[in-house]
Amino acid sequence: MIVSISQIFGVLASLAGGLAVVLGAFGAHALKDRLEPAMLAAFNTAVHYQMLHATVVLVIVLLARTSDSPGFLLGAAGSMLAGILLFSGSLYVLVLWGWRWLGPITPLGGALLIAGWGLLLVAMVRSDV
């Protein structure tokens, strides 16, 4: 069985979306009375961005499967998945374990999310879809 990059990205986006639901429930039930409001807000921001971008990656993967030239689309998906890991992941670690030294990674993750949107824009302008 040959696995394509779009399949891998689809699986990762599906996992990220499901994990966002689990983490959102964890935050709402287990953390709401244990964290300062600012830290709970940071956790919720991580969940929100993770779910939003996981959904977008799934849409991009579906678009890429019908495209004759999916390069920019798959680049956008990869950038967004890396952005989820670095942006949301660093916020989760910061909130749950207090590892503040990871703080500088969060903006890098945000930059990857933005880059993903930029690559998606290029794909749309080029009519790769």
CA separation for the pair 36, 14 (Å, rounded): 30
For range 42-71, the mean pLDDT:
96
Cα-based distances in Å from 47 to 30, 41, 52, 78, 121: 14, 10, 9, 19, 24
Q: Per-residue confidence at 111, pLDDT binned at 50, 70, 90?
A: very high
Could you read off the pLDDT of 55-69 as tens digits, one per residue? 999 999 999 999 989
